[in-house]
Structure 1
């Protein structure tokens, strides 16, 4: 079957034209205009918003959008002009209240008008690129009210006056001010900036300039900073309560510039209260406030850092060059440690552990610690004092803390190899005399030095501990094997020291007493019998002895003395009186050591087992000595110390320095060869730079010395000069 045919329908136009009432637009607009007037007159409760919306809709539909829009502008402008007049006549504090009230009314009116004209907002306005209703209302409010010649200057002046009153301590109505500022912001950021912010910032700059001038004349630095901090916090709070958040950075910049940046130099250098005074008197709160405030301005922190650095360098220079403060090495180093602790605390508590300040502090200490060529020696003497005597009631942990602080100073030393020389000598004396505070503390410091400078730096120090342990085993074997033969000899304890590990000792002559020579020879025979290819040399300048003496008829004491003192005292077994010359001839002790030993035995109150004629504090070559039968002491065991110069004498210092310079030569040559072997060809300046870089962890080599070592290597044909460029060196494989 075929499908039924579909019938087609045709819709035809009206036979007659639909004619719109010519007065439709006018009538409809009158209805809408009346509604807008009622809204502005606060009579909107009787209006039918549905009907009004439909009327506006129909006007747009019938192409009367332009009439509707222009009528809206005219009507709103008329009302806003009336509003402006009512605001203008308001006087005093009522002015802002009236403006705020009218602004609230305008906002409500705009919302209702926008709802009525919503269809126009959606269709007509986008197609004709006109301003939307709500935004139009804001623009008209700005033009006719805010920018009214009689309102604009008054509004600006009133706002600035309120801020000024608040700055001087008055309480103002912040809520009202916040609403007015929000109105300016709602009208557009440019309105807020042009009508208020720009002038507000300029007035603030003038206010703070005057205030800073007043405070700088009557306040000390700490008080000025407190006032600046308070003002800054007040402005931040002010922004949070009623200003635009973007204003915070701008007003803070004004306060910072006028009260900090422009006064920075006077504040830091203010007499009796500036930065240096704060550092000297540990004013952590003031320093922290200065740090936080100066951090906010350009070049603030570098400025106070430079002043701090200059102060530390100057005071440090005075410390290390003051002859009075150099008399006691231990006190000298303690002063350095106290200064370091003081400034570390300042950086930690006041400067927020700022790395740049810490680096400046380290740089300053490195500068002045190395101004004193004896700093390595003094630091070693300080360690010797702490590890030899210990501190009464001091625990291992506290000693560890002291050693950590010493390591900070050690890092500043440019001549670490000089420290090594002295430290080795002092460690040797502590180990050999058995007077070390603690083996654990000694080994702890060596571990710290190894961590800092590497294995090579401490290998010989560790060898010294190995020798001490080996010596104990050797003495045990000595007594086990030939102990039965020693009953007629004095007891003997020997430490056998490896020549390379221990400090270089000059071979000194000292005639040991005949009573001692027998047991010494027994040990020599035993040791060389068990070890082949070795040679023993007695280091009499490093030993100690315990002697039993009888004074008068029956007063007995046991004295702990040095080997030199033992040799001197045993001469008085066969003589009552001896001259200096006779003692020197009999013992052959070197003159400086002999004088110190005699001084210890005859000139120290309470320890004078000898009497000197004539009596004086110094020992002369014409003096005579007698055994003091009248010596008394409350103690049975008496230790007779040797009067020694805690610091090296000038000749000893020169000798140590010479040994250090000699030890440096092979290190410099080794560095040159390593560099040239790798680079093959290098110019003079680059060799100097690279050698310095390689060796600076131990010492700073002198460029003149490096040049001499290069010459030596050329003579020995490790290097050669380029035939064209004399400053260029080549490595000879």
Structure 2
């Protein structure tokens, strides 16, 4: 393959200078100047654009570009000054129309001129750093028309007047407005901003400042917001029709500042119509409007969020501290749930599900729900009411919804361990009395608690269910072993409760009827014979009994009663009337329990299987009781409840609180040891902080108690104080 050398070519200038007629440039320019005049005078149809282009081309080629360019500037300037006179002469509303017409003509003329001078535009202009023809035409229009002393102010006033008239309800020529503002934009963003936008925004601020003041004096909050929203929409629409898109943010900012930001506090606090009024009366549409408007201004959302928080804390505080409301724990919790549902709905529908508002709602509930130290007890009582089998049947789905809602309140509790204490007591009563809605519902609640607080929180609750199942199996085995010995005597069902899992009960001795006692003894011998090293203690205060009773002329009923009530009723098998003292001596039931027991048997309408003399609602030690032969009921089975307060009495409350405090001590100590084991050396304040952080999911430990537990650990040589720094602790391995 042969390679050839690359040849290079060089173009050289003519050896002899080409002579040009000295008057060539002048003659050629006269032709081009005449053409420009004809174009502006609308006589371009007779021109030969090809010849004109060639003439302009030759002028640039023969180094007369400067002459051509200067002539263009002068000729266009002369025409624009004539146009300015024509525009200035236009009267009234014809002024803008004339300006627009001349602008359209100028643009057409400019297009033709640029076509003729295209060669100059592409070669001479960039080399000599001149302004291109089109931009030159725009800048000359700007300087000679728009910034003409007799046009400039008049143009601005005309535009602003039209906008004002439109704002006050008149219909204007939007197409003309669009053409004029588009002209200003084409002349350059600075022209649009200086000649129109800046004064327009200033006038808008003044207009809306006055209008907002007028509205706020005559409207309520909802009406004012409607007007503000309407004005905001109008201005955005105005931009879309005839203003620069970039003006929208600036214009809406003016409206927002004048109509919303400057009046925020007055609006939200308006009497009988402000933000709180909207919350109280569930005005979702108005609330949505105030949210959407206030979110547009700085500090807008924080303003209404603070008002909502303040309002919530106020009504919440009233709710949890009102003595009347505290009389019914179930109603107390239901009111809390209703408030939560109400505000959740407001936030989701009106506040765009704003997370910051949800956080404010949660912090408010956490604040006021913990103002009442009985909230854990009341929430447990509420769950007890919903999970206890009553007259009305409730679907599992409804129970699940209620439990989910209760868990939200539970999360707000700072003393979750107190709730655990009460929940354990209430669960025990439901399980032992067989009055639970369903095992599935009970286990569902335990799963929710475990998810929230961990395994340790629910381990004892789960142990209670295990005991119930074990008890059923044990009773089956007992009756299987005693089948030959058990005749027509009373049937016994025993629940064997593991001491650590179930709530501790103060068990006072009670004298059981002889028939019952013999069966109990048989079970005791059987159970202790099959399980070595165990001890049984009868909890007679926790039991129930079904007994058959005959009244009057052979009317038979089956009575469901507590063990204490059974002991009392069976005394009347051998006596018609018994004094209070006799019943007390025969049964050995504690006084407070006995009085409640007798009250439920003799003083409750429809359940009075005993009658009392003298008749009264309260039980006295001088009362005498008789079997009520005249008792009737439309039910064969009659449940006789025990008259007992739902809430704890003050001594019981103190006892529960004391047990809680005792249970907290080992938890605090365990947390201190865990922390010190990993950190080895730590100062007092950091120990308190770390312990609080670890335990806050169950309760908020008191710093004084933490200090006492540290002292106890030092005494038992788990920790020691630093020799030089007393507030510094060291872990002793």
TM-score (norm 2): 0.97
Bigger Cα displacement from structure 2, 163-172 vs 572-581: 572-581
Report what 1:664 is aligned to.
Answer: 664
CA distance in 2, matches of 1:173, 1:145: 22
Change (3 A) 1:114 1:390: farther
Report what 1:322 is aligned to.
Answer: 322
Does 1:490 find its partner at 2:494?
Answer: no
Does 1:369 find its partner at 2:382?
Answer: no
Any idea what the Cα deviations from partners look like across 1:677-733, whole Å, max 9, x if unmatched?
A: 111111111111100000000011111111111111111111111111111111111
Say if 2:665 and 2:709, in contact at 8 Å, map to a contact too: yes
Change (3 A) 1:14 1:353: closer
Name stretches of at least 5 consecutive residues in structure 2 with no aligned partner.
1-10
CA distance in 2, matches of 1:579, 1:698: 50
SS of match in other structure, 2:633: coil
Any idea what the Cα deviations from partners look like across 1:200-230, whole Å, max 9, x if unmatched?
A: 0000001101110011011111111111111
Say if 1:489 and 1:518, in contact at 8 Å, map to a contact too: no
SS of match in other structure, 1:262: helix
SS of match in other structure, 1:143: helix
CA distance in 1, matches of 2:554, 2:29: 140
CA distance in 1, matches of 2:544, 2:114: 109
Report what 2:4 is aligned to.
Answer: none
Report what 1:4 is aligned to.
Answer: none
SS of match in other structure, 1:230: helix
- The aligned runs of 1:293-332 (5 Å cut-off) are 293-332=293-332
SS of match in other structure, 1:611: strand
Report what 1:404 is aligned to.
Answer: 404
- The aligned runs of 1:547-562 (5 Å cut-off) are 547-562=547-562
Change (3 A) 1:117 1:391: farther
Report what 2:285 is aligned to.
Answer: 285
- The aligned runs of 1:601-612 (5 Å cut-off) are 601-612=601-612
Bigger Cα displacement from structure 2, 384-393 vs 170-179: 384-393
CA distance in 1, matches of 2:213, 2:645: 59
Does 1:593 find its partner at 2:596?
Answer: no
Does 1:729 find its partner at 2:723?
Answer: no
- The aligned runs of 1:81-120 (5 Å cut-off) are 81-120=81-120
Report what 1:74 is aligned to.
Answer: 74
Residue 391 of structure 1 deviates from its aligned partner by 7.3
Say if 2:507 and 2:541, in contact at 8 Å, map to a contact too: no
Bigger Cα displacement from structure 2, 389-398 vs 349-358: 389-398
Report what 1:160 is aligned to.
Answer: 160
Report what 2:440 is aligned to.
Answer: 440
Say if 1:88 and 1:151, in contact at 8 Å, map to a contact too: yes
Residue 123 of structure 1 deviates from its aligned partner by 1.5
Any idea what the Cα deviations from partners look like across 1:491-548, whole Å, max 9, x if unmatched?
A: 1111111111111111211111111110000010111111111111110011111111
CA distance in 1, matches of 2:677, 2:26: 104
CA distance in 2, matches of 1:546, 1:11: 129
Does 1:258 find its partner at 2:258?
Answer: yes
Report what 1:613 is aligned to.
Answer: 613
CA distance in 1, matches of 2:38, 2:621: 127
CA distance in 1, matches of 2:146, 2:350: 49
Bigger Cα displacement from structure 2, 615-624 vs 310-319: 615-624
Residue 489 of structure 1 deviates from its aligned partner by 2.2
Change (3 A) 1:13 1:639: closer
Any idea what the Cα deviations from partners look like across 1:377-427, whole Å, max 9, x if unmatched?
A: 000100111110357353111110000000000000011010001000100
Residue 553 of structure 1 deviates from its aligned partner by 4.2
Residue 120 of structure 1 deviates from its aligned partner by 1.0
Say if 2:57 and 2:119, in contact at 8 Å, map to a contact too: yes
- The aligned runs of 1:9-28 (5 Å cut-off) are 18-28=18-28
CA distance in 2, matches of 1:389, 1:302: 46
CA distance in 2, matches of 1:694, 1:668: 9
Say if 2:347 and 2:354, in contact at 8 Å, map to a contact too: yes
CA distance in 2, matches of 1:219, 1:488: 84
SS of match in other structure, 1:668: helix
CA distance in 1, matches of 2:18, 2:648: 126
CA distance in 1, matches of 2:14, 2:606: 142
Residue 552 of structure 1 deviates from its aligned partner by 2.9
SS of match in other structure, 1:130: coil
RMSD: 1.4
Change (3 A) 1:24 1:555: same
Change (3 A) 1:398 1:593: same
CA distance in 1, matches of 2:201, 2:341: 44
Residue 19 of structure 1 deviates from its aligned partner by 3.2
CA distance in 1, matches of 2:646, 2:291: 43
Residue 165 of structure 1 deviates from its aligned partner by 1.1
Aligned residues: 723
CA distance in 2, matches of 1:340, 1:257: 33
CA distance in 1, matches of 2:580, 2:177: 100
SS of match in other structure, 2:326: coil
